[in-house]
Amino acid sequence: MTVNAGDHAPDFTMPGDTGPVSMADLKGKIVVLYFYPKDDTSGCTNEAKGFTEAATEFDTIGAVVVGASKDTVASHAKFRAKYGLTPLLGSDADGDVIERYGAWVEKNMYGRKYMGIERATFLIDRDGVVRRVWRKVKVPGHVAEVLAAVSALG
Catalytic annotation, residues: 44
Long-range contacts of 24-31 (CB under 8 A, 24+ apart): 26/64, 26/66, 27/128, 28/126, 29/62, 29/63, 29/64, 29/126, 30/61, 30/62, 30/63, 30/64, 30/123, 30/124, 30/125, 30/126, 30/150, 30/153, 31/63, 31/64, 31/66, 31/122, 31/123, 31/124
Q: How deeply is 100 buried, as exposed, middle or buried, from its count of CB atoms within 10 A (0-12, 13-18, 19+)?
A: middle
Rounded distance between C-alpha atoms, residue 124 and residue 18, angstroms: 21
| SS3 call for 85 | coil
